Chains A and B, each alone.
Chain A
């Protein structure tokens, strides 16, 4: 887990952090230095999940292009960005779309 903000990192489950299941690196996750510190050369998957599409896009493309990670995933909000990153072979997840799908599903179930 690479997280620049110590406050956000403190929200992670304490037990998992203390027992070493989760390792936190306080760094800017878009940089190669942070990725190397996090051991990206041994990574099977890289996930960019900040709240900013362009930041996720940059980090994801560095993981894919520079560090040659096969499975790269990113959270996106903008549908245009989603199409772009999909076309680059990056798996995209749109939180808003997922939530609205879920809502629609709930509503249709209630109606029937």
Chain B
């Protein structure tokens, strides 16, 4: 597939390199001549200097035949404009943008960007993973953020310990998809599976019930 990447910096450059390795044809637009020169040295003539918020630069990058545009600059407003211009002027079928601020991630969703990568959400979930004591980790938003995949670590003295899955009063719509035991083994969450101390529960949760689920699973005796 032919892919246009906007921004050849910390995100764009490794992305370009990995997409090329996967066999895609890639073109990078960046307004910084040094960045472009660096990319050309590393990856060949796949980058050019240009402002992706101008229709002319997108045209020059071959947006008309691109299967997707991926906007990865540090500037949220430029990422949004590049995606919207690519869609409205060149009918690019898939637009993907990084949003650094969470409120921009929400706006991108509402203004027609096909896939929004929220940098803040990613950093937060990675930080949470790095803190072993943290009881709630949001792994991934699903279905336009109405649901999410979460991991919740059960305290040893939790009231849920000793119950079976069917014995838990889970919030409506919540599905437990996997249990990982304290020693790192996985358990299938059948109705009669027993919840043990320090299990990690992986669940699909309606986003507005996650707090309730977390309270249920981490309540202490």
- Identify the interface centre among A79, A83, A84: most chain B CB within 10 Å of its CB: A84
Contact call B53/A61, Cβ cutoff below 8 A: no
> Interface-forming stretch among A3-11, A14-22, A47-55?
A47-55
Residues A4-44 near B (CB distance < 8 A) = 30-32
A58, CB-defined interface residue at 8 Å: yes
Contact call B55/A57, Cβ cutoff below 8 A: no
Contact call B88/A54, Cβ cutoff below 8 A: no
Residues B167-185 near A (CB distance < 8 A) = none
Contact call B81/A66, Cβ cutoff below 8 A: no
- How many chain B residues have a CB neighbour from A under 8 Å? 23
Distance, CA A52 to CA B89, complexed state (A): 19
A81, CB-defined interface residue at 8 Å: yes
B72 to chain A, nearest CB (A): 15
* Contacts A58-B77, A84-B84 given; does A31 touch B103 at CB 8 Å: yes
Contact call A65/B111, Cβ cutoff below 8 A: yes
Contact call A80/B107, Cβ cutoff below 8 A: no
Write out, one digit per residue, whether chain A residues 77-97 have a CB within 8 A of any chain B CB (1) or not (0): 011110110010000000000
Contact call B111/A53, Cβ cutoff below 8 A: no
- Chain B residues, CB < 8 A from A61: 80, 107, 111
Write out, one digit per residue, whether chain B residues 73-115 have a CB within 8 A of any chain A CB (1) or not (0): 0011110111011001100000000000101101100110000
Distance, CA A53 to CA B78, complexed state (A): 9
Contact call B89/A80, Cβ cutoff below 8 A: yes
Distance, CA A52 to CA B81, complexed state (A): 11
Distance, CA A55 to CA B77, complexed state (A): 5
B54, CB-defined interface residue at 8 Å: yes
Contact call A54/B111, Cβ cutoff below 8 A: no
Binding site for A on B (CB under 8 A): 53-56, 58, 75-78, 80-82, 84-85, 88-89, 101, 103-104, 106-107, 110-111
**A-B contacts besides A66-B110, A84-B89, 6 pairs, CB < 8 Å:** A54-B80, A58-B80, A61-B80, A65-B110, A78-B53, A84-B84
Binding site for B on A (CB under 8 A): 30-32, 52-55, 57-58, 61-62, 65-66, 78-81, 83-84, 87
